Structure 1
């Protein structure tokens, strides 16, 4: 083998190695395309007091996907179809709606993660959604009706390590200014539990005195 041939082989090997690096880095990010359904008959609701505030919550477990890992840089494209009626939030002054990705139903999500995305309800205009300390997409509505039978959501995620997704829910949290003042930023942390375990989470954080700010 001549020196020229050896140099060519070295160059080809380097190019292959560089291509493998780019392929590996590209493989780290994925787009998860999900078509999910849930029955309005299966919405679970709850209410609880925290301080002088009465919170009302509702959640619906969605089906139609295979569990997967959500990793840094991943995107989601989610179509949700509600059957047997509509998913409806009670009209209150402060209204939060979320699409939650977690390891178990109502599971605590990693606070080292963040999300950014968009919602479109029943084919309407897009609204911004995101979370600064969880793997939910969350939007805020103030004192107006939010009821839908179809939802399209897109989002991207930033996280320190992959998180297993075994449960996806739609959920809400509302409260009325007749009972309390404007919620503190830490109330975003309630969304992390998909609202199912929000009361338990608040009590635990109240004891520790460490509310997570959005």
Structure 2
């Protein structure tokens, strides 16, 4: 193996280990805990661990095999929730769920995986927000059956408790967008990554980020 290949492999391993070790400020981001769903089954809950219903019928947890396979682990969320099987009758099926995150001053990235349930444009929208400030791309423009990752950058000007929320948009018909593998992690200072890349000859490497937006919060 030549030196360039060796350096490239070492850099990839180092960056991969650093990314893996990064703190996820979201609790239960893959929805594997905080509920009693077993196997390919589903149920609607008011709370799922640290996640709580802010508005609507409740948080619908589905196991892999109900409609699709979870992107991570065995479970995922549908936010156009049913009003039966634990859901709240009389409430809108379009549900908003959230959890409080304690974040210090600095830059962060929200990562989540989204999949539309139907192929009807505008039927499966999900809006991600931090303290009511929209940080998500327009998932309502998506259709199909594939999981897609959204990477969204935001900056915290003053440390404190911030509410991360996901809101169902579109037709309230119990067929909405799916959410899985939610992560909020701190973005390292640019100088840190620059030193790593220069040290391994990777200063010219381009890292692809899909559906990326940025917002600054006070």
Output the TM-score relative to the length of structure 2. 0.35
Which of the pair is proportionally richer in helix?
Answer: 1
Which of the pair is proportionally richer in strand?
Answer: 1
Q: Give the greater-gyration-radius structure (CA).
A: 1
